[in-house]
Structure 1
């Protein structure tokens, strides 16, 4: 059920890119080439499945700011110039979402909301034949195949600003659609950990078992303790010991509140998480995210090497290689060294990007 291919059209600096993916994918390139735009485009598929498409695009400044701003190029259709298209092909399903500008309405204040133009879901996604299409949406009307294999009209008017995934009622009646929705919802994305002074990660937090690290790392102590309690701590301690050879980390619990502590050679008292460096906290978050007792099918890390000293990169590379045995990984990175270190442990798909006349391209691809 891994992703075999991604297609992104009309999103920010991405005019039209088709990317074959493997189990471990590293996306690199200079500043401003569009690495983060690819990461955000993939995350939009996740947000659409969670019913948060409009909110995610609002964070980009609204649909108008998220759209490709360049002109038409050779081979472009005018139909595509005003649409953002995201497609994901897996071994068993092929999904495509097309979003456009809303109709200007004098009575509405929400003119930055997106307008979902089309959605399609095909089975056995290598060929988009009409007979393989089990969901077809155009504007606010959709036709789906139900549990009996019958093609029926969806019995509700859809909200124009959200994917059908975010509005699907009675999911048991549409098993394939429900299965894909849950698959997309379970993707994980780690972009920015909350390491600033006064953030939750630096203060004691009420602890509950946490097999999944929160997207901002706020439940770090509980997630660390969960790994240790479930008996998956050998590699955890080994990697952290390699990264910080003179230090030991553990979780302190006071009145049900969990906090990370660090004991360091030469220092007479344990250091609390509020005293950790940003890089130390970020590295601990990456360790816990990548060693999750409940690994996702797909995980994306955006520039994991940020704030890390280069001495920590070998341990990070080993972690990434280890995690790729259980999850398909998307790693956006500025560091050529990180990709080289990962290759010492496992094979990877290295996607190198450049920007030509404002357009994000894969290095070496033909350009017109």
Structure 2
């Protein structure tokens, strides 16, 4: 269920881009060229599948802040209403969602998105009606059910969210449900919170966690789960390579877990509250990439941030190794990290630039 390509139209600095993806992908470019915008656009597809489209757009400042702010170009259909289009082509399915502005003067909720259209097709049929599994226009939808019949969806949809987030009786629509679960399985990691009040710096209730949360809040539980599930040797080898003469472990305090560190020359163990920002972020990346439950797809947005250059070779090796089990997309402004990753595995390297405010692809190698 790997992603073949992602098309993004009308999102922030992205007017119209199609990203061809392979098993291991790197997006690079100068600061401000739009790398994070591509990452965020792909993440919106994941959030839509989780029923969080409105919340995710609100976190970005509302619909007005995420729409393309540039002018029309030659070939644009200027008479059409302004739309953001997110489309993903997978091995067997194509999915597309069109998002527009709310109607003016009708509601105070002017920052909410409106899902205008939503479609799901079997791939390889040029998106014809015969291959259509889902067609949604505004609040009405037609779905192909378990018997292969095209039926009207019996519920009136709310326009602020994807049909995926409102799908009832998923067993009646198995293929649509399968795509929803696939997109929910994707993982995204960016800027782990490492402030003094971060959840990672204080003991947390420990439950088995084969998946690191997107903000790293369950780091200690995910670390211990990884260790107990037979990844001890790999985990310790990587950490010894990155932090020589240092031991990391989890301390249990009445059901609450806390990361601890013993360092040669330091007379007492250090608690996670005393870890450097870079150490915490690196631990999160290690646990995410070694997950005992690998996702179909994982995106890392500028993972080199706050890391010492000495940690980059180990990070590159870890990303390359993880790509054997998970399709990976890495955005980075570090040419060194990109080169290091390429020494381990073949990479689909997409280089970006920004011209007149528009994010463009300048090279694919």
Q: TM-score, normalised by structure 1?
A: 0.97
Q: Secondary structure at the match of 1:295?
A: coil
C-alpha separation in 1, matches of 2:83 and 2:167:
23
Q: Deviations over 1:176-208 (max 9, x none)?
A: 110000111111111121211121101111111
1:211-360 to structure 2, matched below 5 A, reads 211-360=210-359
Across the two proteins, how many residue pairs are aligned to each other? 364
1:315–1:21: structure 2 CA closer, same or farther, 3 Å change rule?
A: same
C-alpha separation in 1, matches of 2:173 and 2:87:
20
- 1:125 offset after TM fit, Å? 4.5
Q: Does the 8 A contact of 1:100 with 1:114 survive in 2? A: yes
1:44-59 to structure 2, matched below 5 A, reads 44-59=44-59
1:236–1:126: structure 2 CA closer, same or farther, 3 Å change rule?
A: farther
1:1-368 to structure 2, matched below 5 A, reads 1-78=1-78, 82-106=82-106, 108-125=107-124, 127-364=126-363
Tell me how large the CA RMSD over aligned residues is: 1.2
Q: Secondary structure at the match of 2:230?
A: coil
Any gaps of 5 or more consecutive residues in structure 1? Answer: none
Any gaps of 5 or more consecutive residues in structure 2? Answer: none
Q: Secondary structure at the match of 2:329?
A: strand
1:280–1:126: structure 2 CA closer, same or farther, 3 Å change rule?
A: farther
1:81–1:364: structure 2 CA closer, same or farther, 3 Å change rule?
A: farther
Q: Deviations over 1:33-80 (max 9, x none)?
A: 000100000000001111111111112221111111111111111255
C-alpha separation in 2, matches of 1:170 and 1:125:
28
1:353–1:224: structure 2 CA closer, same or farther, 3 Å change rule?
A: same
Q: Secondary structure at the match of 1:152?
A: strand
Q: Does the 8 A contact of 1:90 with 1:125 survive in 2? A: no
Q: Which runs of 4+ in 1 moved over 6 A?
A: none
Q: Does the 8 A contact of 1:26 with 1:339 survive in 2? A: yes
Q: Judge which range, 71-80 or 204-213, deviates more.
A: 71-80
Q: Does the 8 A contact of 2:89 with 2:123 survive in 1? A: no
C-alpha separation in 1, matches of 2:84 and 2:18:
14
C-alpha separation in 1, matches of 2:79 and 2:162:
20
Q: TM-score, normalised by structure 2?
A: 0.98
Q: Secondary structure at the match of 1:179?
A: helix
- 1:259 offset after TM fit, Å? 1.0
1:125–1:166: structure 2 CA closer, same or farther, 3 Å change rule?
A: farther
Q: Secondary structure at the match of 1:279?
A: helix
1:316–1:260: structure 2 CA closer, same or farther, 3 Å change rule?
A: same
C-alpha separation in 2, matches of 1:79 and 1:20:
29
1:346–1:12: structure 2 CA closer, same or farther, 3 Å change rule?
A: same
